[in-house]
Amino acid sequence: MNKKTAYFFLRLSMGINFFGHGLVRLTKLNDFADGMTKSFEKSWLPQLSVQMFSTALPFLEFIIGVLLIIGFKTKIAAMAGASLIILLLFGSSTVENWEAMGIQMIYAGLFYLLISRMDDNVLSLDRK
């Protein structure tokens, strides 16, 4: 039962993390998107793409967070979260933000655990 309890707390922690990121950014969506777009001005990525991604990111974080918190469609939410981290890693590499990439790699490892240990996801709506 320890693995299942540990999985629950990891899933809940990641859910709260993503939920919090999304919620705070949604309350200041334009400022967040403009700030992120500005931070990518020196990148070779098209500014329109960065602006669109920056606007969508808080919604994605919020939705992934809610799904992880309640344990509904956990596999899809964890894979979406891992995919989002891959996109963030790619973006961070274009502006040589190695510090952010280190943190994002920790998220990648945590999503690896959530995905690879899916059999431990018994304390969730998925199992009801």
Q: Which two tokens stand for residue 108?
A: 């990648």
Average pLDDT over residues 46-55: 97
Indicate the number of domains in the chain: 1
- Please count the other Cβ atoms lying within 10 Å of the Cβ belonging to residue 25: 21
**Contacting residues for 52 by C-beta, under 8 A, at least 6 apart:** none
pLDDT (tens digit per residue) in 81-111: 999 999 999 999 999 999 999 999 999 999 9
pLDDT at 80 over 90: yes
Residue 127 resides in a domain: no
The model's pTM: 0.95
Average pLDDT over residues 3-16: 97
**Which pLDDT does position 128 carry in this prediction?**
72
Q: What is the dihedral of CA 27, 31, 34, 39, to 10 degrees?
A: -100
Three-point CA angle 110, 60, 67, nearest 5°: 65
Handedness of CA 49, 76, 105, 32 (dihedral sign): positive
**Which pLDDT does position 1 carry in this prediction?**
78
* Residue 51 Cα distances to 17, 79, 85, 121, angstroms: 23, 23, 17, 36
**Which pLDDT does position 3 carry in this prediction?**
95
Residue 128 resides in a domain: no
Average pLDDT of every residue of the chain: 97
pLDDT at 39 over 90: yes
Three-point CA angle 75, 14, 104, nearest 5°: 95
Residue 11 resides in a domain: yes
Residue 125 resides in a domain: no
Residue 111 resides in a domain: yes
Range(s) of the domain holding residue 30: 2-120
